Amino acid sequence: MDLSALNHTELYQMCRRAGLVIPPNLPREDMMALLVNDGPDPIMDVPMDNWRRAIARFVLDHWNTLQNQITCPLKSKDPNSCFGCLDTQVMLCIVQNTNYERQLKNYYDR
């Protein structure tokens, strides 16, 4: 697989879709090595992942109310859908839904 034509964001998204937990600033070469299984398996805590899990739990717990408002990959009801989103998309999800922000914070620590 030739990954050299992909930009940094595309590589990052491919890594996340492959289930790799990596920081978004990981060098391109390291991401390419991970995708072709030439690198070590990273287990890193990405701070936004707690928000990704919180958003997914909140939406799925309130699915009947929110299902018609969801326009992102979480529409599939896959609790891992938010892991395909960039950190900035996750932040936008939080700040654009201020009416749910207090409730969402309760899901952060679960």
- Predicted confidence (pLDDT) per residue in 51-91, tens digit: 898 999 999 999 999 999 899 999 999 988 888 888 888 88
| Number of separate domains in the chain | 2
Place of tokens 């739990």: 57
Percent pLDDT > 90 in the chain is: 24
Q: Cα 92 to chain center, whole Å?
A: 12
Task: Give the pTM.
Answer: 0.59
Residue 91 sits in which domain range?
48-108
Q: Are residues 37 and 61 in the same domain?
A: no
Among residues 61, 94, 93, 91, the alpha carbon closest in space to that of 79 is found at 61
pLDDT tens for 13-57 read: 888 888 787 888 889 998 888 888 755 555 455 678 888 989 999
Q: Are residues 38 and 52 in the same domain?
A: no
Q: Are residues 30 and 2 in the same domain?
A: yes
Q: What b/e sequence results for 13-47 when a residue is b if at least 16 CB atoms lie within 10 Å of its CB, and e otherwise?
A: bbbbeeebebebebeeebbbebbeeeeeeeeeeee
